C-alpha cells in the first residue's frame, strides 16, 4: 500500500456529526466550520427534546463520542490551530476527528499543522521526525529550521525529489528520491520518542496546484505504518 492509498482509505470513511435539538443557525455554522473536512453535518430532534442541545459524532459502526453543543462550539472557538496537538481538558469529539479527511487545505493551513508536529518533537527532545518536502527547492527554505531540529537527540529525516542541486546538511539525513509519491506528498511524522501517546502524523497529497488533501492522526499504529513504509521503500530508518 502506498501513501496515496492510505489517504484514499481514510477518505472512504466519512464521519457524521449530528446536531440535536438546535436551530438551523447552529447547524449551518457547524457545516461552515467543517466544510473542509470529510464530515457530514446533519440536524435531528429527540422526541422529548432532552437532554437539550448536543452533538454526536458517528461512523459506520455507530456513535463514537458526544458532547453538549455549548461545550463543543466553545472548544472550537478556542481551537485557533488546525490540529491542536496540545492536551486539552475537553476534547471528546475533536480527538475522534483524527484520521478524518481534510480537503483543499492551503499552504498556510499545511504549514500551521506542520509546525505543531515539529514543535511537539522539539519539546519531547528525542525520537525521530520524518518530513516530506516534495522537492529540494521547497526544502531549501526550511534548511535552517531542520538543522536546528536535528542539532540534538532527535533523529531527523527529510525526503525530497531532485529539482535542483542537493544541499549540504549536517544535522539531518536527506533522502533524495525520484518517486511520484514523494513529489506529490506532504508529510510530517513524529515517532513519539518512545511514548505512543506522543506519536502523531500529518499526511496529504497535492491534487490541485498548492491544494492539499489528507489527514492527521495520533493513532500509534497508523504512525508506525507510515514510518515502516518510508523505511521499506526509501531505505532503512534507524530507530
Question: Domain 102-234, what architecture?
Answer: 2-Layer Sandwich (3.30)
Residues 186-198, mean pLDDT to the nearest whole number: 96
pLDDT at 119: 94
User: Given a cut of 80, is residue 135 above it in pLDDT?
Assistant: yes
User: Given a cut of 60, is residue 228 above it in pLDDT?
Assistant: yes
121 grid coordinates: 518533537
Q: Where are the domains of the chain?
A: 3-97, 102-234
Per-residue confidence at 98, pLDDT binned at 50, 70, 90?
Answer: confident
User: Given a cut of 50, is residue 84 above it in pLDDT?
Assistant: no
188 grid coordinates: 510530517
121: closest CA among 93, 145, 92, 88?
145
Rg (CA), the chain: 19
Laid out side by side, the sheet with 200-208 consists of 102-105, 211-217, 200-208, 185-190, 128-135, 155-161, 173-176
Per-residue confidence at 2, pLDDT binned at 50, 70, 90?
Answer: very high
- The Cα 39–Cα 63 span in angstroms is 14
- The Cα 207–Cα 83 span in angstroms is 21
- The Cα 97–Cα 15 span in angstroms is 8
Per-residue confidence at 89, pLDDT binned at 50, 70, 90?
Answer: very low
User: Given a cut of 90, is residue 1 above it in pLDDT?
Assistant: no
Options 2.60.40, 3.40.30, 3.40.50, 3.30.70; which CATH number does 3-97 get? 3.40.30
Q: Which residues contact 207 (CB under 8 A, 6 or more apart)?
A: 213
pLDDT at 85: 42
| Percentage of the chain exceeding pLDDT 90 | 61
Per-residue confidence at 75, pLDDT binned at 50, 70, 90?
Answer: confident
Q: 220-234 and 3-11 helices cross at what angle (nearest 10)?
A: 150
Whole-structure pTM value: 0.79
Amino acid at each position: 500500500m502506498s501513501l496515496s492509498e492510505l489517504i484514499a482509505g481514510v477518505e472512504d470513511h466519512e464521519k457524521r456529526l449530528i446536531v440535536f435539538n438546535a436551530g438551523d443557525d447552529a447547524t449551518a455554522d457547524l457545516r461552515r466550520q467543517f466544510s473542509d473536512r470529510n464530515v457530514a453535518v446533519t440536524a435531528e430532534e429527540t422526541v422529548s427534546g432532552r437532554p437539550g442541545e448536543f452533538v454526536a459524532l458517528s461512523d459506520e459502526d455507530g456513535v463514537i463520542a458526544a458532547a453538549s453543543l455549548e461545550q463543543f462550539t466553545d472548544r472550537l472557538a478556542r481551537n485557533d490551530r488546525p490540529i491542536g496537538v496540545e492536551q486539552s481538558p475537553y476534547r471528546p469529539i475533536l480527538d475522534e476527528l483524527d484520521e478524518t479527511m481534510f480537503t483543499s487545505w492551503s499552504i498556510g493551513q499545511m504549514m500551521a499543522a506542520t509546525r505543531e508536529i515539529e514543535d511537539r518533537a522539539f519539546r519531547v527532545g528525542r525520537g525521530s521526525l520524518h518530513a516530506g518536502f516534495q522537492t529540494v527547492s521547497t526544502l531549501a527554505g526550511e534548511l535552517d529550521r531542520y538543522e536546528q531540529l536535528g542539532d540534538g537527540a532527535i533523529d531527523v529525516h527529510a525526503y525530497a525529489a531532485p529539482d535542483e542541486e542537493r544541499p549540504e546538511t549536517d544535522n539531518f539525513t536527506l533522502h533524495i528520491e525520484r518517486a511520484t509519491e514523494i513529489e506529490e506528498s506532504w508529510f510530517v511524522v513524529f515517532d513519539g520518542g518512545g511514548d505512543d501517546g506522543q506519536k502523531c502524523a500529518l499526511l496529504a497529497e497535492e491534487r490541485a496546484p498548492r491544494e492539499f488533501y489528507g489527514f492527521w492522526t495520533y493513532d500509534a499504529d497508523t504512525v508506525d505504518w507510515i514510518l515502516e513504509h518510508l523505511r521499506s521503500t526509501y531505505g532503512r530508518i534507524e530507530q
